[in-house]
Structure 1
């Protein structure tokens, strides 16, 4: 069986960690090794893991000083892996979801069959308040430049091959994301893999119940609701895309077309609109999402402050 290291980032997850841990331990037809990194929880999360799962996890790291974001915690976990560790794949896991028993084997089979380096998938959005569910669709056809303006899916669906993890480590160690507004590991990992001209497989099948609850940091951003629209609009006008473009530029060759796209996107209103008019539907997988992106860009005459 293939061996998968599952990286779990935890913070004050006492209400949900048992269900998530149990669902990971029930994965079929793969060997699972669990690494947990706790971001200085103030509740009983660590005590639950130590008392109930100490014999089932391989590594428990407790950040004495919290990173302040799951994204940073995940990247630190990736960087702690070494060539001496034995594994075939690495998967990322939130603390509050529930996995289908075949989530990992489905990812492994898809990666091997498609010869891809990274796996992502659709999700089932699960509202914990009323137990309702809906499909969160991410498997729209990939576009030539979509990785410049969006992630592959939620990071908790990501599975990476061993060789791409070791390659990404050499890049990530030189990235300063400490002052990156709204830093997203979901977006960064998809960007890095695609920028290396490697294939990403996005599965149309959902193998994860993505729990939405009051303690979610970003969970409600993935629902169809008035709250989601307000939050996404706020992020847009606060420069979400602008700041990501500025940081991505640092990781690109200055003579590449991708660099020129992002450079023009961050210069001025007219150059920004020029990018969207020229490359349009090649910038995002979901055409409806692009049209919304185009509309907000068109009515936003202000260029956010650079970082």
Structure 2
């Protein structure tokens, strides 16, 4: 296997940080990659930046959006995932527009995938906020549970690397989805792989500097603002709705049919059942405790 990687970069109004991310990709110690960039209708200088890089770097391709704008990061990524069958590539890697990759990011992912003969990979991250002068380690690598993919993704999607075979499966599972607004591409990708028995590995190391700023779609917010934001989302019913949406579009509704039916019915007896198996629904003890509160009051 040549270990050739297709890197998929979704952009939208990212001029302030895009150059730094592109440079970090150029500095990768694993050099057998091709970068595909799709812009979702930027109105700032993003297009000028990617055109400049594509004109100078042979292994960068701008994907024509044909004037179609999805209005969401998830929609943009799935447009990228569907635009090609990636013949000749062994792996697919996702990239945000505003992070910075460590030079060995791709090399480490390939080594981990090879060691465990896995089809999907994610890692931990270092979150940093220049304005607040703060960094933190984001740990998403706890041991997988039987049904964690119903209730959470593997990590941030920007850490994901998966095989071409997994990519083709993702394409088949998502071909009929018409909108991704309010959805999470990383959660759905992880669920598709787990629900269809594609081995997934979670790396405890962190190879991405996960930039936090005012325009993040998702992210590691401050303790107070993060709690307020998450509480509003939970109160809106988004979380349970997304669990159902992810399950129906990944195959999890068949793989874990009893969990799915309990979530969908959402009666008191169903909540009690989910509480009895909560340790199998999310990976960390802290997340399980939080899920208990969600199931009792906000589900």
TM-score band (shorter)? over 0.9
TM-superposed CA distance for 1:289, in Å, is 1.2
- Identify which of 278, 281, 299 aligns with 1:280: 278
Counterpart position of 1:250:
248
Aligned mates of 2:56, 2:115 — CA distance in 1: 34
Q: Does 13-22 or 237-246 show the bigger shift?
A: 237-246
Q: Does the alignment pair 1:4 with 2:12?
A: no
CA distance in structure 1 between the partners assigned to 2:68 and 2:246 by the alignment = 27
1:249: how far off?
4.3
Residues 113-162 of structure 1, C-alpha deviations (whole Å, 9 max, x = no match): 10110010000001121332110000011101000110000000000112
TM-score, normalised to structure 2, is 0.93
C-alpha RMSD of matched pairs (Å)? 1.8
1:108 to 107, 110, 115: 110
Q: Which runs of 5+ in 2 are unaligned?
A: none
Residue 223 of structure 1 deviates from its aligned partner by: 3.6
Q: Distance in 1 between matches of 2:148 and 2:256?
A: 11
Q: Aligned pair in 2 of structure 1 residues 131, 87: CA closer, same or farther (>3 Å)?
A: farther
Secondary structure of the equivalent of 2:136? strand
Q: Do residues 236 (structure 1) and 237 (structure 2) align?
A: no
Gaps of 5+ in 1: none
Distance 1:192 1:243, change over 3 A: same
Residues 46 and 196 of structure 1: is their aligned pair in 2 closer, same or farther, counting only changes over 3 Å? same
> Structure 2 CA distance, aligned partners of 1:26 and 1:16?
16
1:185-204 aligned at under 5 Å gives the runs 185-204=185-204
How many aligned positions are there? 295
Quick check: 1:72 aligned with 2:75?
A: yes
Report the alpha carbon displacement of residue 293 of structure 1 after superposing the two structures with TM: 1.7
Tell me the equivalent position of 2:48.
47
SS class of match (1:250): helix
Are the counterparts in 1 of residues 262 and 271 from structure 2 also a CA contact under 8 Å?
no
